[in-house]
Amino acid sequence: MTGGTSAGVSKNICNCEPAEDEVVEEMEKNGDEDAHMLVEDWRLHKFQSPIELTHDDSIDHDHFEPLEFHGHWDEGGDATFTNNGFTATLRFMNRELPSLRGGPLHEDEFVFEQLHFHWSDDDHSGCEHIFEGRAYSMEAHAVHYNAKYKNFQEAQDKHDGLAVVAFFIQATDNVDNPCFNKLSSAVMDIAKVNSLTTVQTDCLTWIKEVAQCKGYYTYQGSLTTEPYTESVTWILYSTPIHVSREQVAHFRNMKSTPCEKFSIIKNVRPIQTPPMHKKLNILYARSHRSSSPSPARGSE
Ligand SMILES: [Zn+2]
């Protein structure tokens, strides 16, 4: 996924009011029409996400500059965590926003917009990408927009507009990941749709170790929610981040409708397969140096 707003895979249709059957019927009808139009639109392009990938199908690439994360796990400013009825979204404000440089992004700087999660009703199908035939419990998407554009909205339909870093999360046992707790415990405060809570600003330390791995997969794809625009440079780390089953379970308690009868049980887009005549290039990138944490850019 990645769109800044809600959407796509599951419509937040609340049909718990029998008196509004006709309204619901109309919404579902419109939803189908919208889906049809979107499918027709993206078939014109071909590079939709998520995808299934394997190391053998990727091309080794040793010539990128190191991919650099700047400020993602720093303290400062404010951080909010919200429930939009589809996912939990983290945003930073009142500070210099984290940024991404190097690697497949070349000379461009990409500014952090938000980080959100995908999950499912069990611990074995909550990721969007599939790596080596394996699915994980969750997938986190750190969404960045190209600083050459004014903001995320202006960037999201440009071919070089977005960079999304994807992290796999695996529920393994009942030992909490203490770094992940800053977000997984805050999920309980945003059970209601459109609710918001503040979180500690250094709440992304759980991605730090994996984000500093030298190897990652990258390809050009799309948003996995509406409007499915093919504007994303995907950067995917194959090493999963381990958390407890309970930490993942908290996310399934988030409500998807104002009436609170429905929870966000699954928010995963199915795997998209490129047409036969379209070859999707997946690069396995290895930097010569480790990614440098902020603020010591290029100090290694
Ligand atoms: Zn996403």
* CA 17 to centroid of ligand 1, rounded, Å: 30
* CA 4 to centroid of ligand 1, rounded, Å: 9
* CA 67 to centroid of ligand 1, rounded, Å: 20
Identify whether 15 is part of a domain: no
* DSSP letter (8 states) at residue 22: H
* CA 117 to centroid of ligand 1, rounded, Å: 6
pLDDT digits (tens, 9 = 90+) for 228-245: 999 999 999 999 999 999
Q: Which residues of 137-158 are buried (b: 16+ CB within 10 A; e: fewer)?
A: bbbbbbbbbbbebeebeebbee
Query: For ligand 1, a single-atom ion, which residues have Cβ within 5 Å?
Result: 1-2, 141
**Secondary structure class of 145 (helix, strand, coil):** strand
Identify whether 38 is part of a domain: no
CATH number at residue 66: 3.10.200.10
Identify whether 35 is part of a domain: no
Q: What is the 3-state secondary structure (H, E, C) of 25-57?
A: HHHHHHHHHHHHHHHHHHCCCCCCCCCEECCCC
Identify whether 292 is part of a domain: no
Give me the domain span that covers residue 106.
48-286
* CA 75 to centroid of ligand 1, rounded, Å: 24
Identify whether 208 is part of a domain: yes
Write out the two tokens for 250. Answer: 């908290």
Write out the two tokens for 86. Answer: 């589809």
* CA 2 to centroid of ligand 1, rounded, Å: 4
* CA 36 to centroid of ligand 1, rounded, Å: 21
* CA 141 to centroid of ligand 1, rounded, Å: 5
Q: How many beta carbons lie within 10 A of that of residue 288, not counting itself? A: 11
Q: What is the spatial distance between Cα 23 and Cα 13, in angstroms, rounded to a whole number?
A: 10
Measured between alpha carbons, how far is residue 39 from residues 33, 227, 229 in Å? Answer: 10, 10, 11
User: So what's the pLDDT on residue 41?
Assistant: 53
* CA 215 to centroid of ligand 1, rounded, Å: 21
From its phi and psi, is residue 75 left (phi > 0), alpha (psi between -120 and 50) or beta?
beta
* CA 129 to centroid of ligand 1, rounded, Å: 10
Identify whether 200 is part of a domain: yes
* CA 73 to centroid of ligand 1, rounded, Å: 20
* CA 299 to centroid of ligand 1, rounded, Å: 32
Identify whether 52 is part of a domain: yes
Pick out the chain residues at pLDDT < 50.
Answer: 2-40, 42, 290-300
* CA 82 to centroid of ligand 1, rounded, Å: 14
Number of domains the chain is built from? 1
* CA 81 to centroid of ligand 1, rounded, Å: 15
* CA 27 to centroid of ligand 1, rounded, Å: 24
Residues contacting residue 160 through CB under 8 Å, at least 6 positions apart: 108, 146, 148, 231, 233
Strand partners, 205: none
User: So what's the pLDDT on residue 287?
Assistant: 67
* CA 250 to centroid of ligand 1, rounded, Å: 18
Identify whether 1 is part of a domain: no
